[in-house]
């Protein structure tokens, strides 16, 4: 891997910048249980990488519940996530060092995530990294979320960088597919709380953590 091949690095957020996947599982398990939908953390493996509205629609069709709309469930989960992020959020290993290194090399830095803007704000403020990104974008503003490539293509366009000159950093299969479909190269740093997913090998490179990724350039 040569850094000179890229003009921009675009990060996913959940599971890449912040160890938020366990927090998502806590929030979803609590809220779904409160509306009479007895899902467990293991169930959420099926919806990794989807927007939260897509996750809720999936389980509403799969199992369903009464007396509460999907939008109300969504709002409850978002509110709980904001609280959990504020209380427990911290950057994953190597994230701060990687952002500073890319900035020192004049590489443009983008963020393309399935999470809503209100959650992006909570994460960036909690981790104190809001000023490190040249452009931040949520798939909530796209017609389709990941694995559709729209969110990454929009980031590249706003960074004024060709997709072929962008490197995506992802942790999920849906995210990898999204980046590849955008004709970008993709690094995978697998999220550690999920079951091993052999299909993650479709990424161009795989690393144990962000420090290992950073070491590949030094």
pLDDT at 38: 86
The number of beta carbons lying within 10 Å of the beta carbon of residue 155 is: 28
CA-atom Rg of the chain in angstroms: 17
pLDDT at 34: 93
pLDDT < 50 stretches in the chain: none
Residues 41 and 149 in one domain: no
pLDDT at 195: 63
pLDDT at 146: 92
Residues 47 and 33 in one domain: yes
pLDDT at 194: 64
Residues 201 and 113 in one domain: yes
Q: What's the CATH number where 211 sits?
A: 3.40.50.1000
Residues 25 and 121 in one domain: no
How many residues in total does the chain contain?
A: 218
List 109's β-bridge partners, or say none: 9
Total domains present in the chain: 2
Q: What is the pTM of this model?
A: 0.87
Which residues are designated catalytic?
A: 12, 14
pLDDT at 95: 97
pLDDT at 148: 96
What domain range is 105 assigned to? 3-19+90-215
pLDDT at 67: 87
Residues 82 and 99 in one domain: no
pLDDT at 94: 96
Residues 68 and 174 in one domain: no
Last residue of a domain, one of 88, 111, 133: 88
pLDDT at 22: 87
Give me the DSSP letters along the chain.
Answer: --GGG-SEEEE--BTTTB--HHHHHHHHHHHHHHTT----GGGGGGGTTS-HHHHHHHHHHHT--SSS-HHHHHHHHHHHHHHHHHHH--BPTTHHHHHHHHHHTT-EEEEEESS-HHHHHHHHHHHT-GGG-SEEEEGGGSSS-TTSSHHHHHHHHHHT--GGGEEEEESSHHHHHHHHHTT-EEEE---TTSPP-GGGGGSSEE-SSHHHHHHTT-
């Amino acid at each position: 891997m040569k850094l000179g091949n890229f003009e921009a690095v675009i990060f996913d957020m959940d599971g890449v910048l912040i160890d938020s996947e366990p927090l998502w599982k806590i929030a979803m398990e609590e809220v779904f249980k409160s509306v009479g939908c007895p899902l467990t953390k293991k169930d959420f493996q099926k919806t990794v990488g989807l927007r939260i509205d897509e996750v809720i629609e999936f389980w509403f069709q799969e199992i369903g519940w009464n007396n509460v709309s999907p939008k109300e469930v969504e709002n409850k989960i978002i509110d709980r996530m904001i609280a959990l992020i504020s209380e427990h959020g911290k950057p994953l290993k190597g994230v701060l060092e990687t952002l500073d290194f890319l900035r020192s090399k004049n590489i443009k830095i983008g963020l393309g995530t399935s999470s809503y803007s209100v959650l992006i704000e909570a994460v960036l403020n909690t981790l104190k990294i809001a000023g490190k990104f040249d452009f931040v974008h949520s798939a909530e503003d796209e017609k389709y979320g990941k694995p559709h490539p729209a969110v990454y293509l929009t980031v590249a366009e706003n960074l004024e960088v060709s997709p072929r000159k962008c490197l995506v950093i992802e942790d999920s299969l849906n995210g990898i597919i999204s980046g590849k479909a955008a004709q970008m190269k993709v690094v995978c740093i697998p999220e550690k709380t999920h079951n091993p997913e052999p299909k993650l090998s479709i990424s161009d490179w795989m690393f144990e953590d962000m420090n290992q990724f950073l070491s590949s350039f030094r």
